[in-house]
Amino acid sequence: MSELFEQLKPHLERAYAFQTALRAISWDNSTLAPREAIENTSKAIGILSGEEYKAQVNDEVKGLLKELEAPGEQEKLNDSERALVRKMGKGLRKLEKIPAEEYQAYSELLAKSYPVWEQAKNNNDYASFAPVLQEVISSQKRFRRYQQEEGQTLYDVALDEYEEGFTVEILDDFFGKLRTALVPLIKQIREKQELVQDGFLNQNYPIEKQKELCRFLAEYIGFDFNRGVMAESEHPFTTNFHNHDVRITNHFHEDRLDFACFSVIHEGGHALYEQGIDDGITMTPIGEGTSMGMHESQSRFYENNLGRSRAFWMPIYHKVQELFPEQLGGVGLEEFYRAINKSAPSLIRTEADELTYPFHVMIRYEIEKMIFQGEVSVEELPAVWNRKYQEYLGVSPDSDTNGILQDMHWSGGSFGYFPSYALGSAIAAQICHHIKQVMPLEEYLEAKNLAAVREYLKEHIHKYGGARNTQELLLAMTGEAFNPDYYIAYLTEKYTELYQL
């Protein structure tokens, strides 16, 4: 046992308590709080955020971490403790390189940039957002320059923030392969749109019945309601207080069935990750999913690799029909399967189908890379955006609202974050391929046995939380580092069959 580590614990516990407070308030704001509450409540949020920051970033913690990183001390730590020290040490070192007053100014900039973006999006007025975006980009590039290490491009530094070890080199290869293999596929499908019809998903589906179905689906995939909660919010999301309190939300549309169904399976995948974290590390800095990409891999695995497969619905589709006899009584399983997999290029990332989805991400990636390499001005961004949509997806945004302004991430300085969305799907395909090697997945699904795959994921991914990064987890589980080939093979095979190409 390390005495130094014991000294670190009270700091971690305080930081955790403030984080819990912030998540509780944030959850409440998104699901329940009355309309006029936020202005007052945000004062408490501001103070608690400051306290959370100070509990983790202070001279005492810095000193302890430095000592704990010494080889003699490392020997006294167990695996989780070493991982925690490593993660916190890395984070602090990156943060330290940014002068405190610049960071403060940046925080204030972000506080004001969100409403500017929101209004610009509502008014389809990119020009009003451009100056703030320019400031955010300048700060981001300056900060990444402070943090840049030998051999890293500037954008690599940003990428590493969200997915450790994933560089421009890896992502160029990933997206390059996607482009080569899938752009032609998407073009072919465009000409065979009539082969897949999903009109029957657009009937009236009473919300109470949808809720019943979603509750069933959550339980079916193994979401533990003794350690979790389901609620409603404007946009579906998952949040976690600790491994015994994980929450998902949904949003219901009376005129569309599949949105809510796949949202609950998607968020359920995130939630299973968090419910599967080991008791020994929950409520610590390594007590949640290791990265955004790995998290997204779990949600996408459940949503797409399982949830959009024939085998998943085979044993339960009759239940859906029983809930909606008028709407789906005459629709067979195969028809349903085809409808929930319909692919058609569209403008909005969050509404995209499984096949075209990664292109929305790729476009954002290519543009972010250009920004960090100084190859494009803020003024030129909408034109570049629209050109790329035409090139890859064959569609042109009718407005910046439905184009470059659609996502809030840039207003929050989240550059380098988007690629994780596509990485998640690719990791999911790699995991799925591996799982099929070690168990008869389709047979299990057809037999309603979802426990086997859930336990396997828990054992090889979930329980470790942030103690291992994506590459380490993949390598240990599948014997191979990240490999996008499985993703391309999966999409190609699935959509070739679906559209008879």
Q: Which residues bind a second copy (CB under 8 A)?
A: 13-14, 16-18, 20-22, 24-25, 27-28, 32-37, 39-41, 43-44, 47-48, 51, 225-229, 231, 241-245, 282-283
Smallest distance, a second copy to C-beta of residue 59, A: 20
In the bound state with a second copy, the residue whose beta carbon lies nearer, of 37 and 70, is: 37
d(CA 434, CA 460): 12
Decide if 245 contacts 227 (C-beta within 8 A): yes
In the bound state with a second copy, the residue whose beta carbon lies nearer, of 6 and 13, is: 13
d(CA 140, CA 158): 8
Please name the amino acid found at residue 448.
K
d(CA 30, CA 294): 24
Q: Is 267 a catalytic residue?
A: yes
Sign of the C-alpha dihedral, residues 36, 42, 43, 44?
A: positive
H-helix or E-strand containing 242?
strand 238-242
In the bound state with a second copy, the residue whose beta carbon lies nearer, of 21 and 333, is: 21
Residue among 52, 81, 161, 267 flagged as catalytic: 267
Give the DSSP letter string of 211-225: HHHHHHHHHHHT--G
Smallest distance, a second copy to C-beta of residue 49, A: 10
Q: What is the DSSP letter of 235?
A: S
In the bound state with a second copy, the residue whose beta carbon lies nearer, of 43 and 59, is: 43
d(CA 49, CA 29): 15
Decide if 309 contacts 493 (C-beta within 8 A): no
Which two three-digit tokens encode residue 234? 């404007």
Smallest distance, a second copy to C-beta of residue 276, A: 14
DSSP three-state, residue 245: strand
In the bound state with a second copy, the residue whose beta carbon lies nearer, of 243 and 343, is: 243
Q: What is the DSSP letter of 243?
A: T
Smallest distance, a second copy to C-beta of residue 6, A: 16
Which two three-digit tokens encode residue 7? 């000294």
Smallest distance, a second copy to C-beta of residue 206, A: 15
Question: Which residues are marked as active site?
Answer: 267
